[in-house]
Structures are given as structure tokens and as C-alpha cells.
Structure 1
Amino acid sequence: MSQQRQALAFSQLHRKNNPVILYNIWDAGSALAVEQAGAKAIATGSWSCAAAQGYQDGEAMPFARLLQTVQRIACVVSLPLTVDFETGYGADRRDNLSALLQAGVVGINVEDQRMGLSALNGIREQCGMLSSLRQVAETQGIALFINARTDIFLQESDQSRHPALMAEAKKRLSAYQDAGASGFFAPGLSDLTLIAELCEVSALPVNIMTSNLTPPLADLTAAGVSRISYGPHPYIGLMENLKQQARALY
């Protein structure tokens, strides 16, 4: 399947009440295992990719190392591949995206946090970034799925304050759509009523990341979620299991 056909196929996997499930991976071996388990698409997680190479999350891993990881993943899997692009890995984000596209990537996550700070980019600034990345993909003739992530809920740990953040989230959703986003990602949002409200108003597929606070998959599906991802949790769980096995030996 050509890269453009994979991109279109990946986009079509995002359906309300029938979400695509992305069990996030971090290298070629984990990608192959998830593909063989029956996945419909492969998705990296920035935290996991960085940790697997001994780096902290937040673009501490050099982009060259991420690109090498993505290239190896693309060599071993045949499914559509989407990559956690964080904020683009610096001022060269256009060139970085071009390199990912050349590696065969058909989707990216792009977040609106100010890297290393407890603050978000302004809407105009973030929309400029999204539009710029869309232009890169169009130049290469790829219908790239840009999953626009807002960290508005993730940066507020007090769940009781999330209802008051919905107006800003909806404002960002609308602006990101106009700027060329393909989907809207709201990690940290776990209240089912708020999730359903966001799905109801969104013309874009909504992505929710699981945590120990999120409702069961069946409830997320019924609420209208189009994409469910697992973030760093597969890696964390596997490493904890490895640690426990090693402790039993030592």
C-alpha cells in the first residue's frame, strides 16, 4: 500500500462510537509485537520512546535518535504509522516533519504546551505551527493525520476544575480545525460527561488517553470517542514487570 493510501486508510479508522485503539509502542520490537497482536495502526509515545533510549520525555532525546527509531519501526511493520512529534523538536520542525514523512509516517501528534513550562502556546501561535506542518505534508502529497493535542486538562491535576476549562478547550478545538488539524487530542480529560460533551461539539475525531481515572473502553466508545490511546502505560507496565522478575532473581 502506498504511503498516501495508508494515510487515507488511517484517517478512516477514526470513527465515532467505533474508535481506533492505539496501544502505544517505542521501538521496532514493540511495534512488531503489537502488529502481530492484531492492531490496525501503530503509534509511538514520546515518553516511551525517550525512556527506552535512556532519555527524559519533553524532547530531551535528540530528533536524530527519534528519526532512527521511526525508520526502524517503519521497516518492520506494514500498518499505518503515527508518531508523537511533541512540539516538533525545535525550530527545524518543518525539516523534521519532512524527514518523518520520508520515513513513511502518515500521522503525528502535535501538542500546544510550552516545552518545559506549565503553560500553553497562544492559540494564534499554535495555529501557525499547525498550518506550517500541514503545508509540509501537502508539499509531499501526503494526507497527514495531524492530531492536535491540547494540554489544558493534563496541566490541571484537580479534576473538579476541568468543567471550567471546557470553553477554552472548545475554542482551541475550533481554531486548530481551521488551521488544518485532522483530530483533537485531550489527554488528562477523564470525566465521561465532559468527554461526551467534547465529542458532541467536535467536527474532528476526539482522542482520549487512558489512565487509572478514565472510564472503561465501552463507555468511551458510547460517548463518541474516535481514538483511544494508551500513552506511556504499556511501557511502564512492561518495565515494572521486568523489574519484578529481576528482583525475584536477585
Structure 2
Amino acid sequence: MTSSPAHRAATLRALHHPGDPLVLPNVWDAGSARAVVQAGFPAIATASAAVSQSLGYADGEGTPVGEMLAAVARITRAVEVPVTADLERGYRLSPAELVQRLLDAGAVGLNLEDSDPYDGNLVDPGAQAELLAGVRAAAEAAGVPIVINARTDVFLRGYGEPAGRLDEAIRRARRYLAAGADCVYPIMLADPADLRTFVEAVAAPVNVLAHPAAPAPAELAALGVARISYGPALYAATYAHTAELLTSVAAGDRLA
């Protein structure tokens, strides 16, 4: 890449506009990253599930951290736009090592989630805030204002009673923002009224997962969302299409 890491990080942060969201069709390798750029998208995001499955591992930090970061590095070498990496909960690395290895791979942003990938339980919000603050401090020490997308898994994991989940997600999001996160990601939150409440309550860039139960992108923009991710959906669709093609080949058909 020709631009500096600090410039790429600033560019990525500036793409987060509430009401005019950054759309990220998450990728898994250099080829998919190039396709996303060729389609006109201004930044690249990886999806841990897609990268893991493409490498033959399970999601949930099942991929050795070296292999995950090597995949991120292949992606960053293939494109000239900022790259943000889904690094689950940080692979139990110290914040300083996590940031250094992220930057060594050429990425300038990362997702960090607040559930334990090994047992699925939500971690204490204070512990997560401490992790995020450590990552922010390490980034400042490195001179690169990396973009931290703090994911809360309250809805994904079905934490607590349904009636209290929105308040819990807001409480966690505010704490993560105070610790140094740039964007918060209440993954699987899809109800339009609840999304509006969440966006207004946190008063910061909000990331939403695009999935069948979620509002359409235009409606998400109207709700004030600043970032829309597609997670492993693109990989899953590509895999399914490949399986269909292979069925045709096995039947003796020509590929169109």
C-alpha cells in the first residue's frame, strides 16, 4: 500500500457517517477482497467465520492466530483501501501484541466481541472495557489511530431476560465507547424501534448486521446507522453456488 497506516486509519474512521452508512460485504481472501473493491466499496472488512471456514477451521478462535493474521495480510496486500479485521476477542493476546500484529498484517481496524469464544458466555463489561482501553492505548503508542468496532453479543447469545436486553446492550455500548471504541455493534439487533432507541442512546457510530430479519439498508440509514456488515453471508452464498456448479459438473454438464 502506498499510504501510511495512520492515513488509512483516519480514512476508515471518516467513512462512518450516521445516516449514510459504510457498507461492508465481508471478505475471506485476496480474491474476494479485490472483487469488493472492484464493485466500488471504499473499505474492506473480514469475517472471522468466513476466513476460518475457508482455511478449514471452525469459527470461535478455532483458527490459529498466525493463520488468521496471515490471511488478513494477504488481503491487505491485494487492495489499496483500508482493511478492518474481525479478530473475535483477540485470541488471548495482550493488547500491545494484538495491535502490533494487526498493524504488521496491514490492517487499521478491528472487531472485538464481548462473549467468550470458548464457552459462549458474555464477559464482564468491565473486563471488556479494560481490553478495549488497552487496545486504544497500544494503538496510540504505535502512532496509528486504529478503528475499534466493539461488538456486544447480548442479542446473539440471548443474554438475560428479553425485556432487559436492549438496556443491557446500551449499557455495555456506552462503557465500550468510554473505553476508546469508535463504533459499537449490537449484533443481531434488528427491530427498527429498538435500533432507533439504541442509536439515539449511544450517540456514536453504530454497526448493524444485514440479515433477513433486519431492515433494508435504506431503512437502516434512515435509523441513523453508520455501518452495515454482511458477516459470512457472502462466503456462504459463494460456497452454496460453488456446490451447485459442482453438482452440474458431476452430472456431466458444461459450465455456462
State the match for 1:24 in structure 2.
26
Q: Which is worse superposed, 93-102 or 50-59?
A: 93-102
Shift of 1:71: 1.2
State the match for 2:236 in structure 1.
236
Counterparts in 2 of 1:208 and 1:162: CA distance versus 1, 3 Å:
farther
User: Where do 5+ consecutive residues of structure 2 fail to align?
Assistant: 251-256
Counterparts in 2 of 1:16 and 1:123: CA distance versus 1, 3 Å:
same
Question: Which aligned pairs between 1:72-91 and structure 2 lie closer than 5 A?
Answer: 72-91=74-93
Shift of 1:103: 2.4
Instruction: Give the residue type in structure 1 aligned to 2:153.
Output: D
Identity within the alignment, %: 37
Aligned match for 2:153, one of 151, 154, 170 = 151
Shift of 1:91: 3.7
Question: Which aligned pairs between 1:110-129 and structure 2 lie closer than 5 A?
Answer: 110-129=112-131
Counterpart-to-counterpart distance in 2, 1:178 and 1:93: 17
Counterparts in 2 of 1:6 and 1:154: CA distance versus 1, 3 Å:
same
Counterpart-to-counterpart distance in 2, 1:78 and 1:184: 25
State the match for 1:210 in structure 2.
210
Aligned residues: 248
Q: Secondary structure at the match of 1:56?
A: coil
State the match for 1:194 in structure 2.
194
Counterpart-to-counterpart distance in 2, 1:144 and 1:73: 17
Q: Secondary structure at the match of 1:154?
A: coil
CA contact (8 A) 1:94 1:136 kept: yes
- TM-score of the aligned structures, taking structure 1 as reference length: 0.95
Q: Secondary structure at the match of 2:26?
A: coil
Counterpart-to-counterpart distance in 2, 1:164 and 1:223: 21
State the match for 2:185 in structure 1.
185
Counterparts in 2 of 1:78 and 1:101: CA distance versus 1, 3 Å:
same
CA contact (8 A) 1:173 1:184 kept: yes
Shift of 1:204: 1.8
- Root-mean-square deviation (CA), in Å? 1.5
CA contact (8 A) 2:77 2:106 kept: no
User: Where do 5+ consecutive residues of structure 1 fail to align?
Assistant: none
State the match for 2:40 in structure 1.
38
- TM-score of the aligned structures, taking structure 2 as reference length: 0.93
Counterpart-to-counterpart distance in 2, 1:91 and 1:12: 28
Q: Secondary structure at the match of 1:169?
A: helix
State the match for 1:49 in structure 2.
51
Instruction: Give the residue type in structure 2 aligned to 1:87.
Output: R
Shift of 1:125: 0.6
